[in-house]
Structure 1
Amino acid sequence: MNRLFLRFFALVMLSISVATIAIYASITIFFGDPLEEVALQQASGQILLLTEYVDQAGPNEWLTRLNKIREITHARIELIPLQMAQQKLTKTKQAQLMRGDVVMDVTAKSFYRRVDLNGERYIGSDEEVLLAQELPIDVAPVLKTELLRYIIVALCLLIPIAVWSSSHWRGLQALAKVADEFGAGHLKVRAQTSERDSIYPLAQRMNQMATRIEALLAAQKNLLHSVSHELRTPIARLEFALELLRNAAKNPQLEPRMQAMEADISELNALVSELLDLGKLDQDARLDCREFDLGKSLNNCVNSLQHVLVAHQLETDFSVDLGNVRADQRLLMRAISNLLRNAAKYANGRIWLRARKLDGNIDISLEDDGPGIPASERERVFDAFYRLDRSRDRNTGGFGLGLAIARKAIEAHGGQIIVQEGQFGGARFIISLPLQAQ
């Protein structure tokens, strides 16, 4: 039984219950209590004896006839003071009693009726009330009949609702599965529904949306690759022309300018490479997961960046229980490399790299003693092309893509990366990774 049916079930049962109570209250207000009508019919024999036999007797025979009825009926008939009877009745029923009507008490299986309105039966008869008890009143069959009617109506409503909601639920589950697969990167998946299905319009709109998103992502991917590859062609021509110029021109005054041109070309090549890497992570984050020694890989990553870290004092602290992890080694080390390069740009002289195994996760922290990152900017530094200080970045290099690539690489492994204020005033990046890439 699904949640959709449960909600409909609760709503229908509540509606039927409210309707039943409202109908009963309305009938009671306008026509009297239905249960009292049933009780009056069941006690009609005793009431008839009182009205047609006892009431027809004269003042001298009234009590004699009442005693005869007491002998032949199973009901217990008593005379009680009027005041006592009024104390047991509601105001509405008190008014009925004072008019001389028969007042039923269904729960007590009894009824009240005044002996005489004017005191003509005997002295004080206008101050006494007939109380008939232990009457043959049984409203249980009526209540059972109403309950059976209630159950039949509920089933007649709930069975079609169950069938209807079940088909809806299966359709919604299919749409949810399609949405999950689409979100996981399977852009070709579409909802398969029949035109007779009630969710067909919704499924069609989801398919149209998926087609549009797929087309936009494909256009973005093609644009990124086209621009990147188109840039490589003029860059290659510039490198070739620069080499020819270097061989042809022996003027020492041109040497600094040619070195600057070579640096610009290298920067453009690096930009194209990072753009392509970022595009791959955006379009396809599938991992090539394998077992590898994390501590050894971190040491190899540090050693490969000695030319970048040569001007800084790097302290590493890897716990001995790191062991092997299952992840995409190349992608994970690319993220660590980007963080190290970023730290090398802004550190004043010292960098700390630590790795620990905690509660089934791998925690890697990288800290520097540089100027740090303001709290208001700590989330935005992971955005592509975002730089805190563009003038400083022109001196240190960079395009604002390194941290974006690092975050996407970590998130592709099911981990997360945050930045905090370090112990020495710089930035502290903390990576939390599961032992098994998700």
Structure 2
Amino acid sequence: MNRLFFRFFVLVMLSITAATFVIYFLFARLFGDPLDDIARRQASAQIFLLEQYVDRAPPDEWLVRLNKVREVSDAQFDLVPLSQVNEALSTRQRTALARGEIVLDPSHKAFLRRVDLAGQRYIGSDDEVLRVSRLPIDLGQALAMEVLRYVVVALALLVPIALWSRAHWQALQRLSRVADEFGAGQLSARAHMRPSEAVYPLAERMNAMAERIQGLLESQKNLLHSVSHELRTPIARLEFAMELLAERMPDPQLVKRIAAMEGDLAELNGLVTELLSMSKLDDAHGPQRALFELEPLLRECAGALHPPPAQLHVDLGPMLGSLDGERRLLARALGNLLRNAQKYAARQVALSAQRVGGMVEIAVDDDGPGIPEAERERVFEPFYRLDRSRDRATGGFGLGLSIARKAVVLHGGSLAVEGSPLGGARFVMRLPDGVLAQ
């Protein structure tokens, strides 16, 4: 947000600067150089004496009057060769000089003038030019006045723009905070603004959108929670009925089919349990934190794998310390990762943990087929499963990794999948500084 308004102010300043140069060159093109006007005003006394006193003298008195002007004026009057002067003038200035006009040279505090084009007053005036130098021309002060004028104009523009932008910036900051809170899971966050504020219509639309999203999410959670609970009753009745049926049916084939149906019911019951777990995580406003030792939790999760994999390597770094979080949630997340690795591993599963730069990293590796790079983010989506896992041999509902990521994110951490040194997949759980306790 700050960057947006900084760019806006830079754009305004550049626009004012560009407008200043455009105005200067446009006026210089149409009406002559403004600096010449300033120099002409500052040298107006000498120009007046020349035009109104010396020029109007009779032919036999012009030199006398010119000498009188030299005596009373601080300026220096000289005759210089016309050819030398023309070399230093532009075409426009040479044309003006030939017409008998005064040609100013502000940089040298001088002006040039051919007083008599007919050659009746100045001896050799056709080949010489009157040069008046040491004039009281001070363009530095004039330029400072021009700069001050433009600064006043710029401030007159920028102060109202700054006040207007500040009000918008504060309103947008409030909207940004509300959006952050809503994105962090505080679905009740709303933007409260006065109708007179310029961004009030945007705030109203954001609030309406938030209300709609909150309603949809709450309806989805309520539906998921209700359906999951309602499914448990018929599932329990079916399980009980099948147990009775299996006891009364001596036919081995029928018993086998009933056992398969019981397996389906167990799978359905497991799905309901996972759905309820997802619903609880979505309803959670934050983990119930408490200090616990991290190393015993990791060893406990590794020892809970059943049946144990052919090769299970546990490599825990020194000084893992304590963790401030909800032990049950993190154990659930780590258990899901280990069972996922066990499901796809050929022979090896590895669990490692270490402190890196003030963070703790917990990695679970396997030597299975791995996960294609294009699928690595999608495996955390609920019910998403790779093609090779959609068979009865591997099982699963596509919820374990989603539950694991939600549990880690609730602790302010992250969960990502990478390529494993063992050849399969590596799931890395990272917990930030705020979670660690020495």
SS of the residue corresponding to residue 353 of structure 1 reads strand
1:437 alignment partner in structure 2? 435
2:259 paired with 1:297: no
Counterpart of 2:313 (choices 309, 312, 315) is 315
What do the CA deviations read for 1:137-175 (whole angstroms, capped 9, x no partner)? 345665455444434433333332232222212211211
Q: How does 1:37-48 map to 2 (within 5 A)?
A: 37-48=37-48
Give 2:347's aligned residue. 349
- Tell me the equivalent position of 2:376: 378
- Give the drift of 1:392: 5.8
Q: Tell me the amino acid that sits aligned with residue 308 of structure 1.
A: P
Is contact 1:93–1:103 with CA below 8 Å preserved after alignment?
Answer: yes
Q: Which residue of 2 aligns with 1:249?
A: 249
| CA distance in structure 2 between the partners assigned to 1:120 and 1:101 by the alignment | 18
* 1:148-297 equivalent positions in 2, closer than 5 A: 148-284=148-284, 286-297=286-297
1:394 is matched by which residue type in structure 2?
Answer: R
Separation (CA, whole Å) in 2 of partners of 1:11 and 1:378: 43
How far the C-alpha of 1:348 sits from its partner, in A, is 2.3
User: TM-score of the superposition, structure 1-length normalised?
Assistant: 0.90
Write out per-residue CA displacement over residues 14-73 of structure 1, whole angstroms, 9 at most, x where no aligned residue.
333333333333333333334423433433332233334433445555444433322222
1:285 Cα shift?
5.5
Cα RMSD, aligned residues only: 2.6
Tell me the CA shift for residue 128 of structure 1.
0.4
Picking from 417, 423, 426, the partner of 1:425 is: 423
Residues 357 and 146 of structure 1, relative CA distance in 2, 3 Å threshold: closer
Alpha-carbon shift at residue 368 of structure 1 (Å): 2.2
Is residue 308–residue 344 contact of structure 1 (8 Å, CA) maintained in 2? no
Report the secondary structure of 1:414's partner residue.
Answer: coil
The percentage of counterpart residues that share the same residue type is: 55
1:396-435 equivalent positions in 2, closer than 5 A: 396-435=394-433
Residue type matched to 1:78 in 2?
D
Asked if the contact 1:8–1:161 (Cα under 8 Å) also holds between the matched residues in 2, the reply is no
**Alpha-carbon deviation of 1:414?**
2.6
Aligned partner of 1:387 in structure 2 is 385
Q: What CA deviation, in whole Å up to 9, does each residue of 1:222-261 have, x standing for no partner?
A: 1211221121121011012112223433444433222222
The offset of 1:365, in angstroms, is 2.0
Q: Distance in 2 between matches of 1:401 and 1:264?
A: 17
TM-score by length of 2: 0.90
Which letter maps to 2:159? I
SS at match of 2:320: coil
- Following superposition, the deviation at residue 103 of structure 1 comes to 0.9
Q: Partner of 1:114 in structure 2?
A: 114
Distance in 2 (CA, whole Å) between partners of 1:174 and 1:394 is: 52
What are structure 1's unaligned runs of at least 5 residues? none
Question: Do the aligned residues in 2 keep the contact of 1:368 with 1:426 (CA within 8 Å)?
Answer: yes
Contact 1:4 1:165 in 2 (8 A): no
- 1:110-149 matches, within 5 Å, as 110-121=110-121, 123-138=123-138, 142-149=142-149
Contact 1:291–1:325 (Cα < 8 Å) also in 2: yes
- Out of 311, 315, 332, which is 2:330 matched to? 332
3-state DSSP of counterpart to 1:137: coil
| SS of 2:177 mapped into structure 1 | helix
Label 1:8 to 1:401 Cα distance change in 2 as closer, same or farther (>3 A): closer
User: Do the aligned partners of residues 115 and 253 (structure 1) sit closer, same or farther apart at CA in structure 2, a change above 3 Å counting?
Assistant: closer
User: Taking structure 1 as reference, are residues 48 and 358 closer, same or farther at Cα in structure 2, changes over 3 Å only?
Assistant: closer
What's 2:30 paired with? 30
| Residues 12, 351 of structure 1: alpha-carbon distance in 2 compared, 3 angstrom cutoff | closer
Question: What SS does structure 1 have at the residue aligned with 2:392?
Answer: helix
Q: Hey, what's the Cα distance between the residues in 1 that align with 2:152 and 2:433?
A: 58
Tell me, yes or no, if the aligned pair for 2:287 and 2:326 is still in contact at 8 Å.
Answer: yes
> C-alpha separation between the residues in 2 aligned to 1:45 and 1:171?
60
Give the aligned length.
Answer: 436
Task: State the Cα deviation string for residues 387-421 of structure 1 (Å, max 9, x = none).
Answer: 22356631122112112222222233232333333
Answer whether contact 2:118 2:126 (CA < 8 A) is retained.
Answer: yes
- By how many angstroms is 1:429 displaced? 2.3
Q: CA deviation at 1:136?
A: 2.7
Q: Does 1:86 align with 2:89?
A: no
Q: Distance in 2 between matches of 1:391 and 1:236?
A: 28
SS of 2:107's equivalent in the other structure is coil
Unpaired stretches in structure 2, ≥5 consecutive residues: none
Do the aligned partners of 2:249 and 2:255 also contact (CA within 8 Å) in 1? no
Deviates more, 1:174-183 or 1:63-72: 63-72
1:105–1:111 contact (8 Å) kept in structure 2: yes
